[in-house]
Structure 1
Amino acid sequence: TVGSRLAAEVVALVGGDLRSPEADIARALIALRNGRTPDARRWRDDANRLERMIGPAPGVRADLDGVGLVIALAFPERIAHRVERTATGATYLLASGTRAGVTGPLAAVEWLAVADVTRASGRTAAGSGAIIRSAAALTELQMEQAASHLMTDRVEADFVGGRVQARRERRIGAILRTSVPVRASAQEGRDAVRRVLRRDGLTLFSWPDAADGLRRRLAMLRRELGDPWPDVSDAGLIETLDTWLASELDALASGTPVDRLDLTSALRRLLPWPEAVRLDDLVPERLEVPSGSRVRITYPEPDGDPTSRPVVAVKLQECFGWAETPRLVDGRVPVLFHLLSPAGRPLAVTDDLASFWSGPYAQVRAEMRGRYPRHPWPEDPWAATPTKHTKNRAAR
């Protein structure tokens, strides 16, 4: 024990907001004991009053070895570890996560118990944005005595080169004490992967076209129909990791590279039954256009603009005579057409094909027929044969 007298003296000093030269509470205590400061009498009276309140304690000590322990017991979240030393001072990381600087003799100490820390305007000489105003040296044993409730020991994981790498980390609050590579247990690996996904989101996955397409289609159904179609937004998928990604979490935890996961099969676990039998009717992957081509439908991103439409990008000539704009999700959502030139460049964007043929098409024809003379640009698009070929090839 540090003894009731020392505890009373330290509390009187800190509670009285007395100045500590070079932030060193132990030095301030020596000066007060020797009566060399104007505040010595007030401090001594406060200490005597506090000692009477505490009462006698075994092993009473008057030395200064326990100053840091008293402060650490009062402010365990302010226990600080030196992380950088410079010619002008040192930077410490507090258990609370704050970084703060100190100059003078205390900069030589590895562990500090901080009584007062304050924000600084600009950066301190020690390179941090906060200043330690008063503190005392702390031994590692004293730190463990005061902060046992802040100690954690757990396996952490991160994705390095597309694989999970695990480390066992021991911390005092935000202060990392040790970190060693380990082979995580199955449960530790799963928990670690979940933490990484919740921290970094789903961007660590490389979504192949099939998985990305299925996710977009499901997002459209969720947007238009609601339950029971699943929420496949980033937030929704992270919330239901154990439902749709359970076996893949195990695979990742055991070292499988992230780019080898079958995310399409994983997403299919979210399909609601029996409603899922209508998936391809409600949100087909492709749309057959009048030329006979089956063109891929690009659905909006799951976390994108909620008013976005599914898009079909197709050559204008493949849609001649098409009057009624197709609608998806039981007629709720009209397809937005990007009508392309023979070179694949956009000529028009419309969700009303009939109006396009009757109006803007004439201007498009006037501008394009000279640029692409080998392709059909009929005056009457209603009577023309839809084709993806040139005029000569179509004639053959």
Structure 2
Amino acid sequence: MTPTNFPIDALLPQVCDTLAAHTRLVLEAPPGAGKTTQVPLALLDAPWLGGRRIVMLEPRRVAARAAAEFMARQLGETVGETVGYRIRFESRMSARTRIEVVTEGILTRMLQDDPTLGDGTPGAVGALLFDEFHERHLAGDLGLALALDVQAGLREDLRIVVMSATLDGERLAQFLQAPRLSSAGRSFPVEVAHFPARRDESMEAQARRAIEHALAAHPGDVLAFLPGRREIARLQAALGASPPGREIEGKGPGIEGARPQSGAGPHPLPARDALHRDFEVLPLHGNLPVEQQAQVLQRDPHGRRRVVLATNVAESSVTLPGVRVVIDSGLAREPRYHPNSGFSRLDVANVSQASADQRAGRAGRVAEGWAYRLWPQSQRLEPQRRAEIAQVELAALALELAGWGTDALRFVDPPPPGALAAARDLLQRLGALDATHAITPQGRRMLALGTHPRIAAMLLSARDDGERALACDLAALVEARDPLRSRSDALAERWRALAAFRGGRVPQDGNRAALAAIDSAAKQWRRRLRVAHAPPRELEAHRIGDLLAHAFPDRIAHRHAADPRRYQLANGRMAKLFDDSALVGEPWLVASELRYEARDALLLRAAPVDERLLRSAFADRFSDREETRWDPARRALVAERVQRFDGIVLDARPAGRVDPAQAARALTAAVRELGLDALPWSDGLRQWRARVRSLRAWMPELDVPDLGDDALLASLDDWLQPAFAGATRLDALSPGALAEALKSPLDWSLRQRIDGLAPTHVDVPSGMQRRIDYAVGNDGDPAPPVLAVKLQELFGLADTPRIADGRVALTVHLLSPAGRPLQVTRDLRSFWQNTYPEVRREMKGRYPKHPWPEDPWNAVATHRAKPRGT
């Protein structure tokens, strides 16, 4: 093994000892500490590993390759021997491999295919390492949840190590019930300054000025962080067009936060040709060929300075030697769910403060450095990066959970219930889940493809090699950025541009780089699916739509009878075409991209569909039956004979009398649409509901049902629909029938307990019963219950009345003889002692016919005025 010198070296014996005694570990180490490459090597000979394999999850392909290459060099080997890697569409492994670096989707497939991870076999996995966990990718969170489930139920001996550069390690250690170790990093001081933009200046132009300043003012290589490939390409072009002979100012008062250094005056920028001899501009992102990535990760063989233009792949996962200056745009492309496309796509977003600090730290790895930030010093960033699971579409996660057989997994941050429910609804439309949310055989096949369920469903729908080749093209097209500069909404034009590119021609409005990337992705899909058939050169108009319908069954659209530019979607929504759409007149479309708006969605990208294909492939979605629906205008039910495709009404005609069962369902659906206020609530029933909701918060051990709005609306079919039996109008439901329907889920004994613990009235010393008012706030929390009573009725009562088994004190509104509020208190004793004398002095003259004794403790309580003559 080649000798190394990393900050983490001193901690490695403790890492090994901790894993000998514990099966989980949280390891914090800043970028440059060496955790990615040194920890796996240190664990190779651990006795508890027993010669088994180590699998390390690396979020990015660039980092996975680089880590494997570095470890292999340390062992004096080539990649694929002791150390190998597997990423999407690429593998460098052998029977000898014991350290396997994989990207996130690969680990999920390994766990789904064999939850025991080969236990008892020569190739068994003994340890899972989650590197750069702070990036909080969805697949990483899922991989950890699955690994914890495996460890708890099948492999108690499995070691799990979570490694991170910037993370709330204490929180994670508590979640995992694991020891936590921290390593020092290798860093030198970094001077951070904000490089101001000029008026109306693009980010690329500002970055170019900052890079030119850095080259003139500082030694070493320059690393510039940009959001993505598009911005990298634009900045490369901007640097290549830099005018010769220009002078660049040194660090000075124009840079926010910068401190002047001696000798930092103006520096002449050499002519562009001279600059090309002095330094090299290199891109770094996840889609680069391996050899170009390797070039970026090594020093220049000719000793030239380098300007590396990188995405956030360079933030923590890879080490770039020689970097002394960082230029940070403060931006990154992060996944966000786009309802327009039905996918999670990369959007440009501000980085977190933790990421900005990490980026700046890259300048101080070999010596003191400088970091220039391209955003104002006054701009505040979020402290940490948000977990992807909270902000992306979850269809892929829902399918993985169904394939695993349970969703009762331990997630660091659980998936949002609403997003998960929407994902399961989509999977049912795709045929991946049945009505009980169990995975179907189709779902198993989709899961094995390891791509988004929409794409998987389309790929599996192809009937022969010719269709499969076309499906591979479409998979690449819908996942890629638009290869055309025109606004056309016809997806077929994108495919024709791809076919022209393959024939050596690029359309006038085509983007060569985008088309090349799409062609490459389609080739990879054909290789993955073992499709020997060449992609078609020409197509009938509807063939693209016929395949896309299997990916977007919820977006199949039928033309409106009265407006040829309006379409009804299978999900029931309406959509419209552009005014200059190329698709006007098509009776059926399938939309791969929509922009949802308040009234009609806008069809951004679509293709025509053959109705014969729909009737053949989606026969179960066509129906012809009598339906009863609520007519809001008439506030009554209407019976119709309706022909449908899914949520699309193809034809509707009046039918005979209303079917009672359908009527009850339709009236229930009307309440779901109109809201609970459409029901005939009495004051007593509203109070009863508030009492139950209050007791649910005050005494959770009672296990009373949830009567909040969301819970009642979600369960209307259970409690309200039976009450509509025989009714054809909403107003046929009486307040008494509503009360019985609402109370029906509670048995008699629970109703009695509610009446005892949250009574409607309370006895007061005057001998009268006075009402208690209950209320629940918009946040679902109960307000303090209120007893409004005349002050004279409480003489002699020292302590505030309490309910809910003594847990809740009433809020007493003490009233004047005229019923006006005098005082509000939850402490009667304090009122009599401290406040009553003042109230008495003020009120005695105003209400002389009512008693105002000096000693309220021993006075007789009354609800009447004083007898005449007293």
Scaled by the length of structure 2, the TM-score of the pair is 0.35
How many Å separate the matches in 2 of 1:72 and 1:112?
Answer: 10
Q: 1:266 to 1:104 in 2, by over 3 A?
A: closer
Query: Does residue 821 of structure 2 align to residue 346 of structure 1?
Result: yes
Q: What is the deviation of 1:389?
A: 3.5
Question: Which of 683, 693, 698 is matched with 1:209 structurally?
Answer: 683
1:221-259 superposed Cα distances (whole Å, 9 cap, x missing partner) = 44426336444334554566566546413244x446255
Q: What is the deviation of 1:322?
A: 1.8
Gaps of 5+ in 2: 1-463
Q: What is the deviation of 1:208?
A: 0.7
Q: What is the deviation of 1:294?
A: 1.9
SS where residue 344 of structure 1 aligns?
coil
Question: Which of 563, 579, 592 is matched with 1:103 structurally?
Answer: 579
Query: Does residue 640 of structure 2 align to residue 176 of structure 1?
Result: no
Q: 1:39 to 1:281 in 2, by over 3 A?
A: closer
Tell me, yes or no, if the aligned pair for 1:219 and 1:302 is still in contact at 8 Å.
no
Query: Does residue 637 of structure 2 align to residue 165 of structure 1?
Result: yes
Tell me, yes or no, if the aligned pair for 1:163 and 1:257 is still in contact at 8 Å.
no
* Counterpart AA for 1:113: L
Query: Does residue 513 of structure 2 align to residue 38 of structure 1?
Result: no
How many Å separate the matches in 2 of 1:28 and 1:332?
Answer: 68
Q: 1:18 to 1:343 in 2, by over 3 A?
A: same
Relative contact order (alpha carbons < 8 A, sep ≥ 6): 1 or 2 greater? 1
How many Å separate the matches in 2 of 1:242 and 1:113?
Answer: 34
Query: Does residue 226 of structure 2 align to residue 226 of structure 1?
Result: no
Tell me, yes or no, if the aligned pair for 2:594 and 2:602 is still in contact at 8 Å.
yes
Q: What is the deviation of 1:336?
A: 1.9
Q: Where in structure 2 are the equivalents of 1:132-171 lying within 5 Å?
A: 132-133=604-605, 135-136=607-608, 144-145=615-616, 147-151=618-622, 155=627, 157-158=629-630, 160=632, 165-168=637-640, 169-171=642-644
Q: What is the deviation of 1:385?
A: 3.4
Question: Which of 830, 849, 854 is matched with 1:355 structurally?
Answer: 830
Tell me, yes or no, if the aligned pair for 1:286 and 1:297 is still in contact at 8 Å.
yes
How many Å separate the matches in 2 of 1:201 and 1:21?
Answer: 41
Which residue of 2 is the match for residue 79 of structure 1? 556
How many Å separate the matches in 2 of 1:172 and 1:357?
Answer: 73
Which residue of 1 is the match for residue 291 of structure 2? none
Q: What is the deviation of 1:110?
A: 4.9
Q: What is the deviation of 1:312?
A: 1.0
Q: What is the deviation of 1:113?
A: 2.7
Tell me, yes or no, if the aligned pair for 1:310 and 1:336 is still in contact at 8 Å.
yes
How many Å separate the matches in 1 of 2:717 and 2:469?
Answer: 55
Which residue of 2 is the match for residue 388 of structure 1? 863
Query: Does residue 586 of structure 2 align to residue 113 of structure 1?
Result: no
How many Å separate the matches in 2 of 1:229 and 1:321?
Answer: 36
Which residue of 2 is the match for residue 266 of structure 1? 741
Tell me, yes or no, if the aligned pair for 2:623 and 2:644 is still in contact at 8 Å.
yes
Which residue of 2 is the match for residue 295 of structure 1? 770
Tell me, yes or no, if the aligned pair for 1:229 and 1:272 is still in contact at 8 Å.
no
Q: 1:140 to 1:185 in 2, by over 3 A?
A: same
Question: Which of 46, 53, 62 is matched with 2:533 structurally?
Answer: 53
% identical aligned pairs: 33
Aligned length: 370
How many Å separate the matches in 2 of 1:352 and 1:114?
Answer: 67
Q: 1:394 to 1:179 in 2, by over 3 A?
A: farther
Q: 1:374 to 1:153 in 2, by over 3 A?
A: farther
SS where residue 386 of structure 1 aligns?
coil
Q: What is the deviation of 1:213?
A: 3.0
Q: What is the deviation of 1:196?
A: 4.4
* Counterpart AA for 1:53: H
How many Å separate the matches in 2 of 1:13 and 1:273?
Answer: 64
Q: 1:119 to 1:334 in 2, by over 3 A?
A: closer
Tell me, yes or no, if the aligned pair for 1:84 and 1:90 is still in contact at 8 Å.
no
Tell me, yes or no, if the aligned pair for 1:214 and 1:264 is still in contact at 8 Å.
no
Gaps of 5+ in 1: 56-61
How many Å separate the matches in 1 of 2:818 and 2:613?
Answer: 75
How many Å separate the matches in 1 of 2:472 and 2:708?
Answer: 56
Which residue of 1 is the match for residue 198 of structure 2? none
Q: Which of 203-212 and 368-377 deviates more?
A: 368-377
Q: What is the deviation of 1:260?
A: 1.8
Which residue of 2 is the match for residue 324 of structure 1? 799
How many Å separate the matches in 2 of 1:243 and 1:369?
Answer: 57
How many Å separate the matches in 2 of 1:9 and 1:282?
Answer: 69
How many Å separate the matches in 2 of 1:277 and 1:21?
Answer: 67
Tell me, yes or no, if the aligned pair for 1:171 and 1:177 is still in contact at 8 Å.
yes
Q: What is the deviation of 1:108?
A: 3.9
Q: Where in structure 2 are the equivalents of 1:237-316 lying within 5 Å?
A: 237-238=712-713, 241=716, 244-245=719-720, 247-252=722-727, 254-255=728-729, 257-262=731-736, 263-274=738-749, 276-277=751-752, 280-301=755-776, 306=781, 308-316=783-791
Q: What is the deviation of 1:109?
A: 0.9
